[in-house]
Amino acid sequence: MGRPVKSPVESVGILGGGLAGLALACLLAGRGHAVTVYERDRAGGKLRRAEAGGLTFDTGPSLFTFPEVWRALLARLGEPDPLELRPLPGGLGVQHTPFGALPLPVPPEHPLAGEWQRYVAAVSPLRSHLLALLTTPPRLTSPDFLRASRALAGVLGPHLSAESWIAAHDFAPALAHALRTQALNAGLPPQDAPALYALLPGLIGAEVYRPARGMGAVLDALLDFARRRGVTVREGTEVTRLSGSQLTLSGGEVCRHDLLVSALDPARLARLRGQSDASPLARRTVSGLALYFALAGESGLPATSVLPPSDFGVFRRSLHAGTLPPDTLTLVHAEGRKLAVLLTVPALSRHLNSGHPWVQAQLRRVETVLHAPGLLQGAAVTALDPLHYAAGGHPGGAIYGAAAPLWRAGPFHPQPYRLAPGLWQVGTGVHPGGGLPAIFGGALIVDGLLALIRL
């Protein structure tokens, strides 16, 4: 990466104690800098623990994919892997499309196995470059970045959106519908999602994992790394104003650092800097309603079931209009007596709970499609709704913040990691979609850039 240019940066303040902020804090502290993380709530961001019916649930990311990015983070930290990652049975789960149920990856004995192999062959040239795309600073002088970008361009061709790429390949209806569903990992309908997201199921394949001790083990590991590197994590400490290198905290305390890194949603950061958030509603990513059920007995369901919208055109129009769609993307994760039902909703900062008529209709759909009548009847439930995500600073509860236009998505138009002298940014608002790989990859990218030009 070249010879680092030394500068007198000793003290680093990180705004936001989610996974991106904690990962970057560990990296910078590991290089000898005094790092303080400011978190107005609890560390972990979307990844935290909730309780229902005496059972503990891990909220936030539910799948661990592309573990190579996690291992790259561990290698830079010089740490062994504490997670004990275990393959999740069924991979990406059963996709209950209007054209029939389809497991991803498609098993060899399935009638659509040939279609799946054609799809995998189309995306496979990118597989060996994926780690570079997720972890390499987007610099035109970087051979790794240029090679990876050329490979991606070769697979995507002229297609900017996931919908365009899928339609051009004329897959069987069930597979095409499942791929459109997976494109929603960008927080956007396939018509608005970058084409890269249409490729992800083929790149992930069966490599879907969870830590042996649950997803909360990821947060535990990062907090342990931070503690052992002397990182100060100030939970319950809200930053109310940012001016130059100076932070004002709730209560009036003023703190100064040589370098600041924001792991906040960019809209919230803009407000702290006295700027306005001009992102319109239609360009926000989706929000969610997460329902965690403690069942009376084991559900008997697959580890992951996916109920997509029946019509993506109707679904898209509902999201753009800010209305609840007739049916929505619903993810169902089952583990023993635990059942997580994750519903996709518009980013409207509205209160929803399990008793809302629309929610009740979606839950009846889950029971019907999964052939589990009465499954949720009488179960204790805890809900995290759009107001919960909005409290984290995301406009309307948009899980990935504002949506970038298609021409600006992916590695061909690098994000503005450096906003001003002494101010950088990292996190899901900068690296939307992609879950944990994008979070950890973004931290590695920013750490690499800082190593080159600042630290």
Percent over 90 (pLDDT), the chain: 75
| pLDDT confidence of residue 5 | 43
pLDDT in tens, 206-263: 899 999 999 999 999 999 999 999 999 999 999 999 998 899 999 899 999 999 999 9
pLDDT at 2: 43
Reported as a pLDDT band with limits 50, 70 and 90, residue 402 is: confident
Q: Give residue 416's pLDDT.
A: 79
pLDDT of residue 186: 85
Report the predicted TM-score, pTM, of the whole model to 2 decimal places.
0.93
Query: Looking at per-residue confidence, does 320 or 278 come out higher?
Result: 320
* Cβ contacts of 412 within 8 Å, gap of 6 or more: 149, 152, 153
Residue at 130 is within a domain? no
Who contacts 334 (Cβ-Cβ below 8 Å, separation ≥6)?
299, 301, 302, 303, 304, 305, 340
Instruction: Compare 415 and 86 and report the one with higher pLDDT.
Output: 86
Q: Which residue has the tokens 């023993």?
A: 336
pLDDT at 432: 65
Asked, for residue 85, whether it belongs to a domain, the answer is no
Structural domain includes residue 390:
no
Q: Which residue has the higher pLDDT, 385 or 395?
A: 385
More confident residue, 106 or 392: 106
Task: Give the lowest-confidence range in 218-232, 373-387, 417-431.
Answer: 417-431
Q: Within a domain: residue 328?
A: yes
Mean local confidence (pLDDT), 322-329 = 96
The verdict on residue 3 lying in a domain is no
pLDDT per residue as tens digits for the range 163-179: 999 999 999 999 999 99
Look at residue 217 and tell me if it is in a domain.
no
Average pLDDT value for residue range 119-125: 97
Whole-number pLDDT of residue 357: 97
- Give every CB contact of residue 5 below 8 A, 6+ residues apart in sequence: 452, 453, 454
* Per-residue pLDDT tens digits for 253-289: 999 999 999 999 888 898 999 987 655 444 788 999 9
Residue 33: inside a domain: no
Given a cut of 80, whether residue 455 has pLDDT beyond it is no
Residue 404 has pLDDT above 60, yes or no: yes
pLDDT digits (tens, 9 = 90+) for 8-45: 568 999 999 999 999 999 999 999 999 999 999 999 98
- Which residue range(s) make up the domain with 333? 287-346+351-384
Q: What is the structure's pLDDT at 413?
A: 55
pLDDT of the residue at 3: 43
State how far the alpha carbon of 14 is from the alpha carbons of 18, 266, 454, in Å. 10, 14, 15
Q: How far apart are CA 320 and CA 336, in angstroms?
A: 37
For residues 372-376, give the mean pLDDT.
96
The number of distinct structural domains making up the chain is: 1
Q: How confident is the model at residue 401 (pLDDT cuts 50, 70, 90)?
A: confident
Q: How many CA atoms lie within 13 A of 168 on its CB side?
A: 14
Which residues lie across from 208 on neighbouring strands? 65
At residue 388, what are phi and psi to the nearest 5 degrees? -65, -45
What's the order of all strands across the beta sheet hosting 254-256? 239-243, 246-249, 254-256
> pLDDT, tens digit, for every residue of 124-162?
999 999 899 889 887 778 888 889 889 999 999 999 999
CB 79 within 8 A of CB 70: no
The whole-number pLDDT of residue 231 equals: 98
- Is 60 exceeded by the pLDDT of residue 6? no
**300 assigned to some structural domain:** yes
**Partners of 50 in the beta sheet?**
57
